[in-house]
Chain A
Amino acid sequence: METATPNYLLIIGGVLFVMLNVAALLIWVERRGLALLQDRYGPNRAGPFGLLIVAADSIKLFFKQDWIPPFADKPVFILAPVIVVVTVLMSFVVIPFAPGIVVADLNIGLLFFLAMSSMGAYSIILGGWASNNKYSLLGAMRGAAQMISYEVFMGLSLMGVVLMAGSFSLSEIVEAQRGLWFVVPQIIGFVIFFIAGIAETHRLPFDVPEAESELVAGFHSEYSGMKFGMFFIGEYMGITLISCMMVVLFFGGWLGPDFLPPIVWFILKTAFFLGIFILLRASMPRPRYDQLMEYGWKYLLPLTLLNLVVTAGVLLWLNDGYR
């Protein structure tokens, strides 16, 4: 790795630059997409097709008063929005976008992703607690319970993929899908990972920690200015991350027919899942909080365990004598 230092720095910078811009672009795509699906125009004034709305919004956020409520716990209040952005950006470290385009191909890549996503829960809990506001606290409690529960299924649903690939390294998992994408044998794992991914990024339909109609804005009710902006951009980077992970783990990552370069295949597949996330937001109602938890523990957990046992059994049966 020492010989390719400039190249390496280029990859780090490139991933950082692309991810931040994708998150910003996604805000525009979502607002226009939702408008399209709901039969209205959406933001179409600033720049061509309203593309500059994100720039206008971020300038507005930067120049807003950075208000910390006097009743808030100041250090924790400032720390919370930082955690969400840092954990999501750290997760992108292990994602192989194409052969050679990966910041660090750790041999525990998948576990690193899970660790970072579990650290992400702190931003919600601490943000809600430090705001010292009952709506925020309720949102934080919901968020904590939801994220802990869905992390369990998220981790377990991926273990089928690990069993089939025989490695935690994400590039080895992609290489193992050369013959057949894992979405075919691991269809249950994929569906559960998708559901758990929506819950982890607390997007609609599972956005109960910030349910507007019940909790004002949930855990970030008291946040304004760029601190709110960080929660906001963190959410969009979170969806990008989950989409990337779905592509890497279940849809063959950069693999695809030869007429397009690998990175283009990766981007196309990721864009497809980003579109699905936006479509889901436009079309699904929000479940009640207890329904969400019940659904997770009573249906998803047994199904995940069953999937894991069956996958392990079939693999053991196929290559008997594997040591």
Chain B
Amino acid sequence: MELTFYIAAAVAVLATIMVITRFNMIHALLYLVVSFLAVAVVFLTLGAPFMAALEVIVYAGAIVVLIIFVIMMLSLTREDVEQEKAWLQPKLWLGPALLSFALLAELVYLLVIAEMPAAPAAASYVDARAVGLALYGPYVLGVQLSGILLMAGIVGAYHLGRQKKKVIHRFLQEKEPQKERSAAI
């Protein structure tokens, strides 16, 4: 169980690095899917199967598909890949990489000196029932607040998407234009 956790975590980190460094957007998103799947396996090994399933269904299954959908509409070409390459020069990411490496070193140091909790995976097994009881018990306010937020999002999307049709197909038009024509004749 311990080994599967480390493998999945390594895959997640590697896949996420690949997401950032790919020039082709679809390839980057494919790595993002792999990263989400790896995180799902991490959840599973830590004893949260419900969270693992939701990770795959919501993030890997729905959100990334929507992003890919938008990118397909943009119809990227070879020139776009070249442009990405021109934008992402090594000297641009060298500074942030060095700084975050310092942070990573600090994190590793803190993890090493911290004491390991005894048997973390086996002790805390959270099944779907426990998640439901927690969500609709102590955290019900959070559920309601996120519901309100989602409602606002839906109303906003509806408002932005609603517009009067400018071009109407001739089969769907009202009968009036035909009448006018016959009157003109």
Contact = CB atoms under 8 A, between A and B. Distances in A.
Interface of A: 73, 75-76, 79, 106-108, 111-112, 114-115, 118-119, 121-122, 125-126, 129, 137, 140-141, 144-145, 147-148, 151, 155, 168
Contact of A151 (B26, B50, B62, B128): B62
19 contacts: A75-B27, A79-B30, A108-B49, A108-B50, A108-B128, A111-B53, A111-B57, A114-B57, A115-B56, A115-B60, A121-B61, A121-B65, A125-B65, A125-B72, A126-B26, A147-B65, A148-B62, A151-B61, A155-B57
B148 interface: no
Contacts of A168: 128
Given A111-B53, A111-B57, A114-B57, A145 B69 contact: yes
Contacts of A76: 26-27, 30
A147 B69 CA distance: 12
Q: Chain B interface secondary structure, helix, strand, loop or mixed? A: helix
Q: Chain A interface secondary structure, helix, strand, loop or mixed? A: helix
B140 interface: no
Contacts of B14: none
A141 B71 CA distance: 11
Contacts of B53: 108, 111-112, 114-115
Nearest to B56: A115
Given A118-B56, A129-B26, 6 more contacts: A111-B57, A112-B53, A114-B53, A118-B61, A129-B68, A137-B72
Nearest to A120: B61
A129 B30 contact: no
B120 to A, nearest CB: 20
B54 interface: yes
B73 interface: yes
Contacts of A114: 53, 57
Given A111-B54, A151-B61, A106 B49 contact: yes
Contacts of A121: 61, 65
A169 to B, nearest CB: 10
Contacts of A106: 49
B163 to A, nearest CB: 16
Contact of A115 (B30, B57, B73, B127): B57
